[in-house]
Amino acid sequence: MQRRVTVVISQKEVSVKENSRVYLKMTVPGNEIQREYDEVIREYCEKVHMKGFRKGKVPKDVLVRKFSEELKGETTYTVIKKSLDEAFESIEEKPLAYSMPELTDSKVVAVPGQDFTFEVFYDTYPKIELAPYTGVHAEKPGYTIGDEDIAKELLAIQERNSIVKEKADGKVEKKNIVTVDYVELDNAGNPVTGSAREGFVFEVGSGLSLYKFDDDILDMKQGEEKILKKAFPADFEYPELAGREVSVRVKAVIIKEKILPALDDELAQDVSDKFKTLDDLKKDIKERLVKVAEDKIKEILATRIITEIAEKSTIPVPETMVTLELEQSWKDFCARLNNREDIVLQALEQEKKTKESLLAEWKPNVEKKIRSELVLNEIEEKEKLEAVDADVEQEIRKFALERGLEFDKAKEQYEKANMLAYLKRSITREKTFDFLIENADLKAGKKLKLLDLIAGNY
């Protein structure tokens, strides 16, 4: 005999509180509690082992005396679970997948034969009062692509096709490829746990070193070691160094220089068979930079429009959404530092910070990100914007053409990587951006140099 999967609910009260927090109160009649209690006892009688009795032959009264609290506890758990499952089938305010209903009284117990009332809180998907999303005012920046932009791209091509050799004089200069060992030191001059790096290779002037010591190691000789004093602004790109003064011991291990090829037709042909002359290469660079600029302008416009809509919309963001996003940000933060959580926590402690204080700093931006995402989801639903199979096929064909693959092979790569759903979502999002920009009230802004546009200096 199987246990019933539902219970009868005699009363149910639902109300949505602040930040999409749902209050749910339910009452299950006493006869239902008794029935569930009896079923729990029956199952115990069938399964429990007790000394002096054969399995399945333990008398009910003996079982109740010995396992009274356990029987009531399991009855309570079962009634609550069945009641919630049944309620969520009928009410509109369903819980988020990652928001578990929480009892207001964790010690509540269902008593056989008596009506049982319990209350829970949980988060639901927010009901959004969307502000008007067409005709939104936004300024569209212009851009210029100058000879210096083409020259910068050509230099990058030269560097990619350069040869590297060890320097005879072994002295660090700009553009050199240097291998260094470094470690952060504490106030006592001892290495900070987890900060050491050996064999770090970077180009001097690239700014790729964590501690930004490119200029500090100029003129160092091979094998030379220095202790550098570094001070970082409060808005430094790496939060773990922001607002700090640190000492870093650096040793120049290997110093190499790049020998660039001549800027001529031969280099253009080396880049690709489709280029016959240097002018062909320059033309291709110009076309590519135009696309980069147009994509950036689209990103700027989309961000400005979505921010405007989100600020004017009513969006009760559930706290569990914020918590989940903050936890993911924390995991990404630890991964970026290539460190375990305990090591990151130790580093924060030295700066008199905690995980909690860091998450508090991130919270406003996280909430802004969630609000924007919710706005986009709402617009996509209202306007029925979605990627169809033809859109997905077009993108895969573009991917195949760029990589010289057959369509079936390219599609297979997406399938093996489980990326088809992600691709479809990306296409839908691009359609939404296009819709918002096409229906916006755009005003021409000032023209920017390409570098300023890409760097966000506008």
CB under 8 Å to 440, separation ≥6 — which residues?
Answer: 134, 135, 136, 137, 138, 301, 305
Helices 355-383 and 341-350: crossing angle in degrees, nearest 10, is 120
Indicate the average pLDDT of the chain: 93
pLDDT of residue 338: 76
The DSSP call for residue 179 is: E
- Pick the closest to residue 124 from 93, 91, 153 (CA basis): 93
Q: Please compute the mean of the pLDDT values over residues 217-225 and round it to a whole number.
A: 95
pLDDT of residue 4: 60
pLDDT band at 453 (very low <50, low <70, confident <90, very high): very high
CB-side exposure of 280: number of CA atoms within 13 Å?
14
The identity of residue 168, as a single letter, is A
Residues 344-378: pLDDT tens digits? 888 888 778 899 999 999 999 999 999 999 999 99
Other C-beta atoms lying within 10 Å of the C-beta of residue 214: 18
- Report the share of the chain in percent with pLDDT over 70: 98
pLDDT of residue 143: 96
Q: Give the integer Cα–Cα distance in Å for 322 and 308.
A: 21
Q: Domains in the chain, start-ordered, CATH in brackets?
A: 11-123 (3.30.70.1050), 163-259 (3.10.50.40), 266-455 (1.10.3120.10)
Residues 170-209: pLDDT tens digits? 899 999 999 999 999 999 999 999 999 999 999 999 999 9
- The percent of the chain in helix, strand and coil, each rounded to the nearest 5, is 45, 20, 35
Q: Is the pLDDT of residue 2 over 80?
A: no
- Pick the closest to residue 337 from 213, 210, 249 (CA basis): 210
pLDDT band at 90 (very low <50, low <70, confident <90, very high): very high
The model carries a pTM of: 0.74
pLDDT of residue 432: 98
**Residue 238, exposed/middle/buried by CB under 10 A (0-12, 13-18, 19+)?**
middle
